[in-house]
């Protein structure tokens, strides 16, 4: 693991810990390393040094950062955990999660590790993980598209109400329709146009 | 994309503080493309494509509010 190319002292210093704090964590280096590895897989941490110290001082041991390797003899990797770890790793690089990045990450894992109990990450494993990851991504994207479509409906409702309340008349609408066409669907714009057509003439 | 590449009907939008990327994303969105396809067309990520479309729509909303 790349962290081990640095000593614990160097790693802690790179995280911004003071010499006194470093001394404290060096008293139980195994537990300190456990929390460092755990920290690496957490996303959105704004104060890693503070969190590391807080976790260490609880006196407990970090959750197994290598849980994805699986710990049941005779079984392969723990897929859900492996997938989660891979996504975290990709997310921690600051890039948007995409299949090719996950694939790259899985290839890296394959080269650097052996899945616990001797099993290796096979092509079949990678395919399965990628399928699952793709499905998760697609669901996520569909959700986002749906939310934005809901926003469009909300915009339509807003302008429809404005028209019904007489706050926007036909003349005003004529002025803003070319712009509304850019944020609503054709059907939605037509619906608004129809509403003003129904306005009673004064 | 340069100014001259823009469809003339979109030039007025460019004058209204939409960036070329926002314009392109908006135009593709109006053409019925989802974010994934817009991203492919623009050579960016899904999130970036969505960001451009949403920013463009947001600016348009503000302009509409001013005009209404």
Distance in angstroms (rounded) separating the CA atoms of residues A175 and A178: 7
Task: Determine, for residues B60 and A179 on separate chains, whether the beta-carbon distance falls below 8 Å.
Answer: yes
Global ipTM: 0.74
Any chain B CB within 8 A of the CB of A147?
A: no
pLDDT in tens, A154-171: 888 888 888 888 887 777
Query: For chains A and B, what is the number of CB pairs under 8 angstroms?
Result: 43
SS3 A58: coil
By residue range, what is the domain housing residue A50?
2-57
Q: Is the domain of A80 the same as that of A141?
A: yes
Q: Dump pLDDT digits (tens) for A131-190.
A: 777 777 788 788 889 999 888 888 888 888 888 888 877 777 777 787 788 888 888 888
Is residue A103 situated within a structural domain? yes
Q: How far apart are CA A123 and CA A42, in angstroms?
A: 27
Among the listed residues B13, B26, B28, the one whose alpha carbon sits nearest the alpha carbon of residue B64: B13
Contacts of B47 in chain A (CB under 8 A): 96
Q: Is A185 a domain residue?
A: no
Mean pLDDT, chain B, integer: 79
Whole-model pTM: value is: 0.55
Would you call B67 and A183 a contact, using CB atoms and an 8 Å cutoff? no
Q: Do A94 and A35 lie in a common domain?
A: no
- A138 in any annotated domain: yes
Of A93, A117, A145, the domain-final residue: A145
Look at residue A66 and tell me whether its pLDDT is greater than 50. yes
Q: Give the dihedral sign, CA A91/A97/A101/A105.
A: positive
User: Looking at A127, A145, A163, which one is the last position of a domain?
Assistant: A145
CATH of B17-67, one of 1.10.10, 1.10.3470, 1.10.3210, 3.40.720: 1.10.10
B residues 8-67 closer than 8 Å to A (CB): 13, 26, 30, 34-36, 45-48, 50, 53-54, 56-57, 60-61, 63-64, 67
Domain ranges for chain B, please list them: 17-67
Q: Which residue of A has its CA nearest to B16?
A: A179
pLDDT value at position A117? Answer: 46
Residue among B43, B64, B66 with most chain A CBs within 10 A, to mutate:
B64
């Amino acid at each position: 693991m790349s962290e081990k190319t640095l000593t614990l002292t160097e790693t802690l210093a790179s995280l911004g810990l003071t010499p006194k704090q470093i001394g404290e964590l060096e008293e139980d280096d195994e537990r300190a390393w456990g929390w460092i590895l755990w920290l690496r897989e957490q996303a959105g941490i704004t104060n890693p040094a503070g969190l590391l110290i807080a976790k260490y001082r609880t006196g407990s041991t970090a959750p197994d950062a290598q849980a994805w390797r699986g710990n049941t003899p005779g079984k392969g990797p723990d897929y859900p955990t492996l997938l989660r770890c891979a996504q975290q790793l990709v997310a921690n690089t600051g890039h948007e999660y995409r299949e090719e990045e996950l694939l790259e990450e899985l290839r890296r894992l394959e080269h650097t590790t052996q899945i616990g109990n001797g099993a290796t990450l096979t092509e079949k494993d990678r395919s399965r993980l990628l399928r699952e990851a793709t499905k998760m991504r697609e669901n996520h994207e569909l959700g986002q598209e749906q939310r934005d479509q809901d926003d469009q409906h909300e915009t339509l409702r807003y302008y429809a109400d404005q028209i019904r309340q007489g706050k926007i008349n036909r003349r005003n609408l004529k002025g803003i329709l070319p712009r509304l066409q850019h944020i609503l669907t054709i059907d939605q714009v037509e619906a608004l146009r129809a509403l003003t057509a129904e306005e009673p003439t004064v | 994309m340069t100014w001259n590449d823009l469809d003339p009907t979109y030039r007025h939008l460019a004058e209204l503080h939409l960036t070329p990327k926002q314009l392109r994303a908006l135009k593709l969105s109006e053409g019925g493309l989802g974010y994934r396809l817009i991203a492919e067309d623009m050579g960016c990520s899904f999130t970036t494509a969505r960001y451009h479309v949403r920013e463009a729509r947001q600016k348009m909303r503000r302009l509409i509010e001013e005009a209404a």
